[in-house]
Amino acid sequence: MPIPPLTCPRCGTTAEDLSGCAACRAQGVGANPVPPLADLTGFRLADFPGGPWGLPAALPVPGEYAAAVGLGEGGTPNVRIPHGGSAGGELWVKYEGGNPTGSHKDRAMTVGVAAALAAGADTVVAASSGNAGAAAAAYAARAGLRCVVFTTPKVPETLRAQIDALGAVRVVREDFAARNAAMRAAVGRFGWYPLTSFAAPPAGGNGYANEGYKSVAYEIARDFGERVTAVVVPVSRADLLSGIARGFRELRSAGLLARTPRLVAAEASAAAPYAAALARSGRAEQERTTVVDGPSPAFSLGGQRPTWQGLDALWRFDGAALAVPTGEFMAEHRRLGARGLFVEPSSAVAVAAARRWADARGGTVVAIGTATGLKDTASVRAPAAPVPELAELTD
Amino acid sequence: MPIPPLTCPRCGTTAEDLSGCAACRAQGVGANPVPPLADLTGFRLADFPGGPWGLPAALPVPGEYAAAVGLGEGGTPNVRIPHGGSAGGELWVKYEGGNPTGSHKDRAMTVGVAAALAAGADTVVAASSGNAGAAAAAYAARAGLRCVVFTTPKVPETLRAQIDALGAVRVVREDFAARNAAMRAAVGRFGWYPLTSFAAPPAGGNGYANEGYKSVAYEIARDFGERVTAVVVPVSRADLLSGIARGFRELRSAGLLARTPRLVAAEASAAAPYAAALARSGRAEQERTTVVDGPSPAFSLGGQRPTWQGLDALWRFDGAALAVPTGEFMAEHRRLGARGLFVEPSSAVAVAAARRWADARGGTVVAIGTATGLKDTASVRAPAAPVPELAELTD
C-alpha cells in the first residue's frame, strides 16, 4: 500500500513536505495538510479493541507495521469524577497517562514512526518540551530508527531521563524558537523525518502521525455512544483536538453516530490563542490571531498562535475555547489527586474547563487527561496535612 | 456479601488479623492467610476484559465496589522483544507500567481498598518503598479514605511527589525495620486497615488485596493460552507471584487450561532468598532460609527471607528462582530502553531472568514488567551517544 499524499484542508494544495502548507504559510496561516478521511462503513464500534492499531484500515500507513511499532498504546480508561452545579450530568476523565510512555502522544508517534518506516527514513526527529519527545524516542527505538529530540532547558527532569533511557539523542536549545529552528535545519540538511510541528506560524505535527488520535474519538464513541455531549481537549498545536474531530467526522459520515459531541479547547490563561481567536468575528481574522504568551505550570501547552486545524475542529463541532487561570487549574490538579488521579498540569487545564462546562450545562462531558503526573513532579509541592493520631507514635 | 475469612494455607489456622499467620510466625515462618480459591467454571476467557474487576466473582469483596474504587487498572499490553539462543521461542514483556499509578500494585490496592470499605475502615495504611504506597494512596483517595504511607528516605523523588499528589500522609522512618514497626504500631493502636506486609518474618501483603493479582494470570491465559511455558516474576514478598499462581490454579481447576506455565522467581543477586531457599533440600529448611541482603538499584526488591506464599507458588508450578547480578539487569534495563520500553530496574531483573530462560529453553516466556521507569529516574545516568551529523548544526 503506498502512503497517500497529504492535501491542505484549507486551500487544497498538495503538500510537498511535512512542515505544513507552504501556500497558507505565505498568507500568514499555519495549516496542516492531511490524508483523506477513512471510510468506516461496516466498522463495528462495539468490537473496537482501542488504539490506533485497533482499526488499521483507518490509518494512512500499512497495517502490517503494527507489530514493528506497537507498544500497546490506546484503550485508555474513563474515570468518573464528581462535579457540582444544578444541571446534573456526568464528568469523566479519559486517562491517557496509561499509554506506554505515559501520554496521548503515543497514539500519534506509533503511526508517525510507521510512516517513517514506509518513507525509508533512518532517523526521526522531534521538537518537544517533553511528552512528544519521549513518545518519539520510544517508537523510534521500537522500530530500530535513530531519534533526535530538540528540546529546551525547561524540560522536567523526569522527561529528560525518559528520553535518555529510550536511547534518543537530546539536543538542548535555549528556547522554543531556537529549538524549532534547529529541527528545521536538521530536516532540511539531513533529510531526517519530522514527527512534530516545527514551522512558523505553527501548523501542527506530522499529518500521518496525527491520524493516530482518531482512535480517541472511536474509543469515546464506543464507550459513551451518543450520550457524550462535549469532549474537552487541552490545546497547543491542537493535533489531538484535530485528530479527535477527524475521528468523529468519520464516525458521523459512516452513520455510526447520529449525534456527535461539541468540542471544547482548553487553554491556560497565560497563553490562550484559541479563546482569543473565537472572540473575533470572521474566519480570516480568527486564522491570524496572535496573543502574548506567558509562563505557566502547564508547560506542554502554550503558544502565541492558534493552528488552522484547531480552529477547523472547533468550527465543525460547535466548538468553544475556555481559558483557565493558573489558580483554577492547579486547584483542579490537587482535587484530581485527592480523587486518585495524578495527572500533569496540562491535563488539569482540560478537567477544570470540563468542570466549568458540566457545572453550567450538565450532559456527559469527557475531558482528556493527556499525561501522567509522573512526567512533571515539580508541580507537586505540598505534602498532605498530617493526621492527628500520628503525634502519638513515637519513633 | 460478607467478606470470607482468611485461612493459613500452610497450617489451616483461621487468621485473626492481616499480619500473617500467628501460628506459623511462632515457628519462624512467614505464611500469609488467604481466602478460598474462586470457582471459575463457566468463565469465558476470550471475553475477559482484563483487570481485577473484569471478573468480580473471583474476588473476595462485593463486585458493587468496582465503581467506588476502580481507576481502570489491568488489561496491560504484551510487548515482544528479541532474544538469542538456539532454542527458538518467544520472549514477551507484560507491561504493568500502563496501570493508573504506573505499577502492578494497582491490581492489589483496588481490591484491598474495597476490602477496607467492606470492613468499615476510615484509614488505610501501607509500609512501602514506593509503588505500593503510591497505589494505596490512589485507591484510598478514589474511595474517600485517609491513607498513611510509612516509608524510608530511600524513596525516589518521583514516588514521593506521586504519594503527596494523591493526598496521602507520608511518614518517613530511617529503615525498613523502623518503617514496619511504625506501621505495626499504627495498626495495633488506631485500628488502621493494613494494605501491605508489615510483620517479621514477612508473610506478604493483605490477603484480600493480593487476589487482585490473579487477573494477571487470567490475562496471560487469555492472550497466550496454553503455549506460554514460563512466567517470570520479580519477587520480594512474592505477593504478585503468589497471586499469579492462585490465578493459574483456578484456571486449571475449572478446566480452562490443561497446561499451565512454570513459574520463575527473579531476584537481584544482592538479595536472593528464594534462590537460596530452593538450593536447600527439604521444605522445612527452605521455609526458614535467611540471607544477607545488600543494596541494589532494584530498590523495590530485596529482603532476607522468602515468604511461604512465594515458595508455595514455586513448589506448585515446577518453579525456579534466578538471581541476576546488577550488571546484568542494568544492561537489560538499557537494552529494554533501546527497544522502546522504559521500566523500573526491578522489572529489568525479571526480563533479564526471562531472557536467560528463553535463550536456554525456548518456549513462550512472559516476564512481568512491573512498573514504568518514570518511578525511578535516578537509574538513568547516561545520555545517548551523539549522532555525527549534529556537529554540522551550528547554534
Report residue A394's pLDDT band, with 50, 70 and 90 as the boundaries. low
Asked if residue B297 and residue B168 are part of one domain, the reply reads: no
| ipTM entry | 0.94
Question: For residue A208, what pLDDT is reported?
Answer: 98
Top-confidence range, A124-133, A286-295, B357-366: B357-366
HSE, side-chain direction, 13 A CA sphere, residue A100: 35
Residue A331 lies in a domain: yes
Calculated CA dihedral for residues B191, B192, B195, B198, nearest 10 degrees: -70
DSSP H helices in chain A: 22-26, 66-69, 105-118, 131-143, 157-165, 176-190, 214-224, 239-253, 273-278, 283-287, 308-316, 326-337, 345-361
170-189 of B, contacting A, C-beta below 8 A: 170-171, 173, 178, 182, 185-186, 189
Residue B184 lies in a domain: yes
**Residue of B200, B247, B244, B211 whose CA lies nearest to B63:** B211
Tell me, what CATH number does B119's domain have?
3.40.50.1100
Instruction: Specify whether the CB–CB gap between A32 and A207 falls below 8 A.
Output: yes
Residue B4 lies in a domain: no
Task: Give the domain range for residue B330.
Answer: 69-103+209-379
The torsion region of residue B335 among left (phi > 0), alpha (psi -120 to 50) and beta comes to alpha
A1 vs B270, higher pLDDT = B270
Residue B48 lies in a domain: no
Q: Which of B166, B174, B187 to mutate to test the interface with A (most CBs of A within 10 A)?
A: B166
**Contact list, A161 vs chain B (CB under 8 Å):** 373-374, 377-378, 380
Asked if residue B275 and residue B187 are part of one domain, the reply reads: no
Task: Work out whether the CA dihedral A284, A286, A291, A296 comes out positive or negative.
Answer: negative
What does the alpha-carbon distance between residue A390 and residue A372 come to, in Å, rounded to a whole number?
A: 30
The residue-averaged pLDDT of A178-190 equals: 93
Chains A & B: contacts with CB separation below 8 Å: 196
Asked if residue B328 and residue B238 are part of one domain, the reply reads: yes
> Does the beta-carbon distance from B158 to A158 stay under 8 Å?
yes
Mean pLDDT by 10 residues, chain B (395 residues): 90 96 96 98 96 98 94 98 94 98 98 97 93 97 97 90 95 90 94 94 96 98 98 97 98 97 97 96 95 78 90 98 97 96 96 98 98 88 81 74
What does the alpha-carbon distance between residue B165 and residue A335 come to, in Å, rounded to a whole number?
A: 9
Question: For residue B379, what pLDDT is reported?
Answer: 79
B374 touches A: beta carbon within 8 Å: yes
Residue A43 lies in a domain: no
Cα B333-B337-B338 angle, rounded to 5 deg: 120
Q: Indicate the range of A297-311, A362-376, B120-134 predicted with least confidence.
A: A297-311
What does the alpha-carbon distance between residue A191 and residue A47 come to, in Å, rounded to a whole number?
A: 40
Q: Which of A48, A105, A335, A377 to mutate to test the interface with B (most CBs of B within 10 A)?
A: A377
Question: For residue B328, what pLDDT is reported?
Answer: 97
Asked if residue B225 and residue B372 are part of one domain, the reply reads: yes
A335 touches B: beta carbon within 8 Å: no
**Contact list, B390 vs chain A (CB under 8 Å):** 148, 169, 171, 186
Question: For residue A300, what pLDDT is reported?
Answer: 64
R_g (Cα) of chain A, nearest Å: 20
Asked if residue B358 and residue B283 are part of one domain, the reply reads: yes
**Contact list, A67 vs chain B (CB under 8 Å):** 80
At B184, give phi and psi (nearest 5°).
Answer: -60, -45
Residue A218 lies in a domain: yes
pLDDT at A14 over 90: yes
The bridge status of strand A78-81 relative to strand A90-95 is antiparallel
Å between A85 CA and nearest CA of chain B: 21
Q: Which of A53, A123, A155, A166 to mutate to test the interface with B (most CBs of B within 10 A)?
A: A166
Contacts of A340 (CB under 8 A, 6+ apart): A79, B71, B100, B138, B139, B140, B141, B142, B166
Asked if residue B314 and residue B275 are part of one domain, the reply reads: yes
Cα–Cα distances (Å) from A253 to A11, A37, A117, B242, in that order, read: 22, 10, 30, 50
Residue A148 lies in a domain: no
Cα–Cα distances (Å) from B254 to A36, B40, B48, B244, in that order, read: 49, 5, 15, 16
Asked if residue B79 and residue B152 are part of one domain, the reply reads: no
Question: For residue A11, what pLDDT is reported?
Answer: 98
A390 touches B: beta carbon within 8 Å: yes
Q: Which of A341, A344, A351, A379 to mutate to test the interface with B (most CBs of B within 10 A)?
A: A341
- E runs forming strands in chain B: 78-81, 90-95, 123-127, 146-151, 169-172, 193-194, 228-234, 262-268, 320-324, 364-369
Calculated CA dihedral for residues B110, B116, B122, B127, nearest 10 degrees: -70
The residue-averaged pLDDT of A67-92 equals: 96
Question: For residue B332, what pLDDT is reported?
Answer: 97
Asked if residue B237 and residue B338 are part of one domain, the reply reads: yes
Asked if residue B237 and residue B134 are part of one domain, the reply reads: no
Alpha carbon B40 to its chain centroid, in Å, reads 23
Instruction: Specify whether the CB–CB gap between A342 and A374 falls below 8 A.
Output: yes
Number of structural domains (chain B) is 2
Asked if residue B251 and residue B142 are part of one domain, the reply reads: no
Cα–Cα distances (Å) from A330 to A159, A295, B232, in that order, read: 20, 14, 41
What is residue A251's three-state secondary structure? helix
A386 touches B: beta carbon within 8 Å: yes
Residue B61 lies in a domain: no
Question: For residue A1, what pLDDT is reported?
Answer: 57
When CB atoms are compared, the residue of A72, A138, A148 closest to B77 is A72
Residue of chain B with shortest Cα separation from A190: B389
Asked if residue B326 and residue B230 are part of one domain, the reply reads: yes
B339 touches A: beta carbon within 8 Å: yes
Question: For residue A298, what pLDDT is reported?
Answer: 72
Asked if residue B111 and residue B99 are part of one domain, the reply reads: no
What does the alpha-carbon distance between residue B61 and residue B121 come to, in Å, rounded to a whole number?
A: 14
